[in-house]
Chains A and B, each alone.
Chain A
Amino acid sequence: MTTSSDTQSERGRALREFWFYFSENRGAVIGLGIFVLLLLTAVFAPLLAPHDPIQQYRDFLLTPPSWQEGGSSQFLLGTDAVGRDLLSRLIFGARQSLIIGAVVVTIAVTGGIILGLVSGFFGGWVDTVIMRVMDVILAFPSLLLALVMVAILGPGLMNAMIAIAIVLQPHFARLTRAAVMAEKEREYVMAARVAGAGRIRLMVRTILPNCLAPLIVQGTLSFSSAVLDAAALGFLGMGAQPPLPEWGTMLAEAREFILSAWWVVTFPGLAILITVLAINLVGDGLRDALDPKLKRS
């Protein structure tokens, strides 16, 4: 089939071009590298972690990192207030963070795209109602709204993820709607319609691939927001509950020791920062590589 191989080579060319622009951005490549490392850490956490993340070593409460005086070679980054190995908890924490990001983005993207497609395609009062609801969600400071929602649903990681996804999804709905509005009147959509494509088919097969670029960029940014917000909720006691090794929750437990045991405060936060930074680096690279306006300069 010539047509399918044509589209395949077309797709391959687009992909190569994308990779060319993306790989030119040193920061983005570094970010991607760190992200892949994090992913591997999360997947192989049981193999990498020297200890069980919830095992309490009663004889080693608040042991400093191994290189510091009083440290033990058994616990590379020290232990927390109940004697759990910090390094193992950080390694297992990578799992939570990446799962949070993935789940939140999946829910937010799916919900946002469906709402945006429906809104853009049907127009009229359906559009008005959906977009008004999105406006209302965006009118609240996101963390506050998520916080109240978690309070209603009950504290916990799953509820925190749902709340964050609801708060983040209006961005996707708006993007998709705008793309649908812009593409709706284009010739190829008209042509597909004339050729007898059904409405749903038209939406999913024809329009969606053409608004993929901004959605991917927004998805990346939302991934980092999700990690950050989930950690914030954990810190406020509304996210993951102890003894789950989630970085934000670890910080909350460590708060009272800030002036006595620096390591229990420093490392979990550093882990959050590095993760979010890596994802944002990738996001910037994606934006530059996918935005044709910036390519010229």
Chain B
Amino acid sequence: MIRFLLGKLAYLIPTFIGITIVAFGFVRLLPGDPVLLMAGERGISPERHAQLSAQLGFDRPLVVQYLDFIGGLFQGDFGTSLATRRPVLGEFLTLFPATVELSVCAIILATLIGIPLGIFAAIKRGSAFDQVSMGAALVGYSMPIFWWGLLLIILFSGILGWTPVSGRIDLLYFFRNGTGFMLIDSLMSGQKGAFTSAVSHLILPSIVLATIPMAVIARQSRSAMLEVLSEDYVRTARAKGMSAWRVVGVHALRNAMIPVITTIGLQIGVMMAGAILTETIFSWPGVGKWMIDSISRRDYPSVQGGLLLIAAVVMIVNLIVDLLYGIINPRIRHS
């Protein structure tokens, strides 16, 4: 198990170095002179320009700049935002809980609905339930979620008036020194109606972000279950006189979950992409919307830091999923 983990880590380190090169390199390729951008509308004299360039280190060779960048990373320095003049890491960490809250709710929703859907479809293979749920899964899998979000807003906010259109909570509520997780903060604050408001803001974005992962998980659960149900050990369990519930719910399910866990892990990366769109539609103040804003503002240190941090988060999540995979699969745990 430890060797399995070390192997994974040894594999991740070069990938991470690659990620830093990409993040660093991309941003140097962005059109526009960063010093001119910093100066803004007022313009800048050539002397001042050269002085600023030297001050920011842009006149040095790229390799030196890169090593400097890496050195900074080790001290937690991801650069300073051109737009807000605040450290990029700080900006990211302020907005990150909003994205985490949304993603966690979405993945829970996707798993809680996707897995049972796929399992039952497999058990009732060929039935109307199987066909309808797998048809729905294919539609979900093909969904342009930015449009799906707009449709849900039209229906639930426009026509029915049940849910708010944007943001994380009503402006009435304010929490000092919160965790950044609106559900927790609103609950802790004890303010009347705060929690309900947070939940109602979270529902639509969660559904939108959960749509594609839910479809993928349902399809994967179904095919994993179908494969497992034809295995010899399932026949053995039935030959042992075990109830249908035990055969499917214990013997088959435990094995079918192994590939599904991997799929759920892969969906985290997909969800970071989905978060960009979902947060944009619902004006959700998370890192996805921040990336879009940074790109359109040409705030290149933020783009560079955000790209790096988001890729790192995806990598860490995948590492955790691999760990989980090792725990749930005895064939890896004991080798």
Contacts and interface: CB of A to CB of B under 8 A. Distances in A.
A143 B288 CA distance: 11
Specify which of A132, A139, A228, A280 lies most central, judged by the most chain B CB atoms within 10 Å of its CB.
A139
A255 B311 CA distance: 30
B150 A258 contact: yes
A285 to B, nearest CB: 11
A81 interface: no
Given A139-B315, A141-B310, A144-B291, A232 B142 contact: no
Interface string A136-173: 10011111110111011010000000000000000000
Interface string A33-68: 000000000000000000000000000000000000
B184 interface: no
Contacts of B298: 151
Contact of A141 (B21, B295, B296, B314): B314
B69 interface: no
A140 B19 contact: yes
Given A265-B147, A269-B144, A136 B19 contact: yes
Contacts of A269: 144, 147-148, 150-151
B276 A147 contact: yes
Contact of B310 (A144, A232, A262): A144
Interface in B1-60: 14-15, 18-19, 21-22, 26, 29-31
Interface string B270-311: 101110110010000000000110011010000100010011
Nearest to B270: A141
B277 A232 contact: yes
Given A139-B311, A140-B311, A268-B147, A276 B291 contact: no
Contacts of A151: 30, 295, 298, 303
B147 A140 contact: no
A149 B272 CA distance: 17
B116 interface: no
Contacts of B269: 141-142
A273 B144 contact: yes
Contacts, number: 130
B158 interface: yes
A133 interface: yes
Nearest to B307: A148
A133 B19 CA distance: 9
A141 to B, nearest CB: 4
Nearest to B135: A27
Interface residues of A, number: 46
A277 interface: yes
Contacts of A232: 144, 146, 277
Interface residues of B, number: 47
A35 to B, nearest CB: 13
A224 B138 CA distance: 12
B73 interface: no
Nearest to A279: B142
A251 B147 CA distance: 7
A235 interface: yes
A94 interface: no
A276 B144 contact: yes
A144 B22 CA distance: 13
Interface string A254-284: 0100110010011011101100110111001
Interface string B140-160: 011110111011011001100
Interface in A161-218: none
Interface in A233-259: 235-238, 248, 251, 255, 258-259
A10 interface: no
A231 interface: yes
Contact of B15 (A135, A262, A273): A135
B22 A140 contact: yes
Contact of B30 (A135, A152, A262): A152
Contacts of A145: 307
Contacts of A132: 14-15, 18
Contact of A281 (B14, B18, B138, B277): B138
Contacts of B139: 273, 277
Interface of B: 14-15, 18-19, 21-22, 26, 29-31, 135, 138-139, 141-144, 146-148, 150-151, 153-154, 157-158, 226, 230, 269-270, 272-274, 276-277, 280, 291-292, 295-296, 298, 303, 307, 310-311, 314-315
Given A135-B15, A143-B273, A231-B146, 4 more contacts: A132-B15, A142-B273, A152-B26, A232-B146
24 contacts: A132-B14, A133-B18, A135-B18, A136-B15, A136-B19, A139-B311, A141-B269, A142-B269, A144-B276, A144-B310, A147-B292, A148-B295, A154-B31, A248-B144, A251-B146, A258-B150, A258-B153, A259-B153, A259-B154, A265-B147, A266-B151, A268-B147, A273-B142, A280-B141
